[in-house]
Amino acid sequence: MQIILSLLFVLLAQLISAQINSEFELETLSGYENNIFKSPSSFVDPDSGELLGKEDLYTNSIFQQVAIKGLFTKEWNNNNLTLRLLPRAQIFLSESQASYYTIYSRLRYEKEISNKTKWQVTSHFNYRDRDGENLDDNELRTPLGYRHFDVSTRLFFRLYKQSRSFVEIEYGNRNYQDGETNKLWYDYVAVNTIFRNVFKNPAGYHSYGVEASFSKRFYERNYFDPEEADETRNWTYFTAEPFYRIPITEKWRVRAGLEWQRRIDNDRGSFTYSQLRPSVELRYKTETFMAQLNGSYTNRGFNSLNATDVFGEVTGKLNLKYYRLRLEMEQKIGKNLYLTSDAYMINRESNRKNLNTTGFRSYQYFYAGIGLTFTF
């Protein structure tokens, strides 16, 4: 891993010193976000005993989003080096405490070894400055702010003429913003692969195959109070997804997949689950217009965690169902100017009905916005 990191720094120096090509995009999006922190719609206040509703629990606001994308590219012989930068600010007009900004960066080196093989090294650094807790991450209640770094090496290869596959090894680290009483972080290692066949028909290229991954996460929570014992977690993930992508016409494209995932809680067993996630993507694209619709359904069942009713009585094993839908559109209205729109919703259904907790409860969330993108 140290060899890969050293190579990345050398490549970054090469990119800075060499003649490079650059592209930029300025993006804006104005809209409305509902239930920003993904709270349940009801909760009993433990101090007063009062039943709180959406008007008390939801944080909603009109927002303004501004982002700048930068892409820097250097090509020589059979080598390609790219640096992508994306700072973004999300400003909530009526809930300023919920505003945040992020910085995304990616450094990538690619080398064509032969007509059938290509080697790639990629590194990401992401930073999010945001207050609050992620209520959707109920197992750990992680802070919304973090610093994330990862590095991976990937080998693309062809087993035969129609084959387009790769194998990747990845390492990453995420440090969350300090909480009031503790600090949380984790390391992870992963092996990812895709075995894919690609064919051409009159409408374009279609493909089918399987994506698979194996990963390990090692969490550690350090408490500031020396009398509090630190916590560790060791989780293993197995994921596999057969998929099929087909162009219906030159303008229409469909992709369907069925993802299976198994998480194993190696320490306690409490947070072990299995889930299925069928998904579909529908895309329409012309020279001046693009629309893409993504939808998925996730059914997640826990092995040990129990669901409880409004009286706190156990009703069975915990089950979560996620319904996700996103619509993105882009219309060219000038030489370098595009009108864009983005709408996204999540509906989580849970069989945990206990009003005395917010963990693993049902919630509804959505945002919708319209904006402009200028390329230069």
3-state SS, one letter per residue, for 171-182 = EEEEEECCCCCE
CA distance 369 to 67: 14
Long-range contacts of 153-157 (CB under 8 A, 24+ apart): 153/4, 153/119, 153/120, 153/121, 153/122, 154/119, 154/120, 154/121, 154/122, 155/117, 155/118, 155/119, 155/120, 156/117, 156/118, 156/119, 156/120, 157/116, 157/117
Distance in angstroms (rounded) separating the CA atoms of residues 373 and 331: 10
Helix (H, G, I), strand (E, B) or coil at 155: strand
DSSP assignment letter at 55: H
- Using 50, 70 and 90 to split pLDDT, how confident is the model at 9? low
Query: CB–CB of 231/221 below 8 Å?
Result: yes
Average pLDDT of the residues of the chain: 93
Residue 302 is predicted with a pLDDT of: 96
pLDDT digits (tens, 9 = 90+) for 10-52: 555 555 555 789 999 999 999 999 999 999 999 998 888 899 9
Q: Which residues contact 187 (CB under 8 A, 6 or more apart)?
A: 171, 172, 173, 217, 218
Q: Is 318 exposed, middle or buried (0-12, 13-18, 19+ CB in 10 A)?
A: buried
In contact, 41 and 57? CB cutoff 8 Å: yes
Instruction: Return the pLDDT at 90.
Output: 98
Question: What's the pLDDT at 295?
Answer: 98
* Per-residue pLDDT reduced to its tens digit, 230-247: 899 999 999 999 999 999
Instruction: State the pLDDT at residue 47.
Output: 86
| Interatomic CA distance for residues 361 and 54, integer angstroms | 14
- Residue 77: phi, psi to the nearest 5? 50, -120
Q: What is the pLDDT of residue 311?
A: 85
Specify the amino acid at residue 136: D
pLDDT tens-digit map of 125-173: 999 999 988 877 778 888 999 999 999 999 999 999 999 999 999 999 9
Average pLDDT on 210-223 reads 96
| Identity of the amino acid at 130 | R
CATH 2.60.40 fits 2-375, yes or no: no
Instruction: Return the pLDDT at 138.
Output: 75
Mean pLDDT on 189-193: 98
Query: Phi, psi at residue 241, to the nearest 5°?
Result: -145, 110
Q: What is the token pair recorded at 192?
A: 């990812």
C-alpha separations of 27 from 72, 279, 284 in Å? 18, 28, 21
Paired with 373 in beta bridges are: 27, 338
266 has pLDDT over 90: yes
pLDDT at 134: 83
The answer, yes or no, to whether residue 216 has pLDDT greater than 80, is yes
What does the pLDDT look like over 82-123, one tens digit per residue? Answer: 999 999 999 999 999 999 999 999 999 999 999 899 999 999
pLDDT digits (tens, 9 = 90+) for 339-352: 999 999 999 999 99
Q: Residue 299: its pLDDT value, please?
A: 98
pLDDT at 261 exceeding the cut of 80: yes
Torsion of CA 69, 75, 78, 81, to 10 degrees: -40
312 confidence band (pLDDT: 50, 70, 90): confident
DSSP H helices in the chain: 2-17, 54-57
Are the CB atoms for 249 and 223 separated by under 8 Å? no
> What whole-number percentage of the chain has pLDDT above 70?
95
**What was the pLDDT predicted at 6?**
57
Strand-pairing partners, residue 89, are: 66, 101
Confidence of residue 222 (pLDDT cuts 50, 70, 90): very high
Maximum Cα interatomic distance, the chain, rounded to a whole number of Å: 70
Structure tokens at 328: 């993105």
